[in-house]
């Protein structure tokens, strides 16, 4: 992990307070920042791989970052690939999968017919 961080604790604290409306202690800030740094490093490395695999480019493009976030499990830029959804489902325990099925049934029952 590099010595630099993608953000500062004060920025993370303000973000968490603003988005949650809750008070935030020092440990959650530390954990959030550490996880953010891990994700940022993974995205940067993957984006580098994508750029270099595309003819050995020396410049990161927007699409490299977008694809890297998707590969890292970050924010997808479009609808999820069904294969990726099943990969995520396969990681669930039986109890988690049963809860998801029940939640899906409730969600479908609440939707108006199309």
Tell me: the pLDDT tens digits for 60-104?
999 999 889 888 776 656 676 787 778 788 888 999 999 999 999
- pLDDT class of 1 with cuts at 50, 70, 90: very low
Question: Structural domain tally of the chain?
Answer: 2
Q: What percent of the chain has pLDDT over 90?
A: 61
pLDDT in tens, 3-38: 788 899 999 999 999 999 999 999 999 999 999 998
CATH number for 13: 1.10.20.10
Q: Are 32 and 12 in contact (CB under 8 A)?
A: yes
State the SS3 of 34-101: HHHHHHHHHHHHHHHHHHHHCCCCCCCCHHHHHHHHHHCCCCCCCCCCHHHHHHHHHCCCHHHHHHHH
Same domain, 71 and 33: yes
Same domain, 59 and 88: no
Q: Which domain holds residue 64?
A: 1-77
Same domain, 32 and 64: yes
pLDDT at 53 over 90: yes
Here the tokens at position 35 are 């996880």
């Amino acid at each position: 992990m590099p010595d630099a961080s993608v953000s500062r604790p004060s920025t993370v604290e303000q973000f968490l307070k603003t988005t949650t409306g809750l008070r935030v202690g020092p440990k959650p800030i530390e954990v959030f920042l550490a996880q953010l740094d891990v994700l940022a490093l993974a995205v940067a490395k993957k984006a580098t791989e994508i750029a270099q695999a595309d003819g050995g480019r020396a410049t990161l493009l927007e699409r490299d970052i977008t694809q890297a976030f998707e590969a890292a499990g970050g924010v997808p830029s479009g609808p999820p690939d069904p294969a990726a959804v099943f990969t995520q489902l396969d990681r669930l325990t039986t109890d988690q999968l049963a809860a998801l099925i029940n939640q899906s049934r409730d969600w479908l029952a609440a939707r108006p017919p199309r």
